[in-house]
Amino acid sequence: MTRIISIDPGKNKCGIVVAETSEKKVFKATIIKSELIQEYVRNIINFQEISKIIIGNGTNCREIREKLDFFKKEIITFDEKNTTYRAKS
């Protein structure tokens, strides 16, 4: 099992998905205030084995990544340029 957290960071809010990549299954998808990201992710990893966190490199990425420095496994930054347009097509 390979569970990941994927984060679409923003100045005021973040989109978060908890997914199982090997089964291509999403367990939870939500939007929270950016200031709550650290507490929210800590809560998830206290109850689930998460192998990595993926963060989009858009707005507020650096600040969100700094808040997650407690996560001692892999944190990947993903180029999210034009993802909205690619998703629409």
8-27 pLDDT per residue, tens: 999 999 999 999 988 889 99
Residues 6+ apart with CB under 8 A from 40: 16, 32
The DSSP code sequence of 19-56 is EETTTTEEEEEEEEEGGGHHHHHHHHHHHS---EEEEE
Residue 85 confidence (pLDDT) above 70: no
Task: Report the alpha-carbon distance of residue 60 to residue 87 in Å, rounded.
Answer: 21
Question: Quick one: pLDDT at residue 56?
Answer: 92
26-59 pLDDT per residue, tens: 999 999 999 999 999 999 999 999 999 999 998 8
In angstroms, the first-to-last Cα distance of the chain is 31
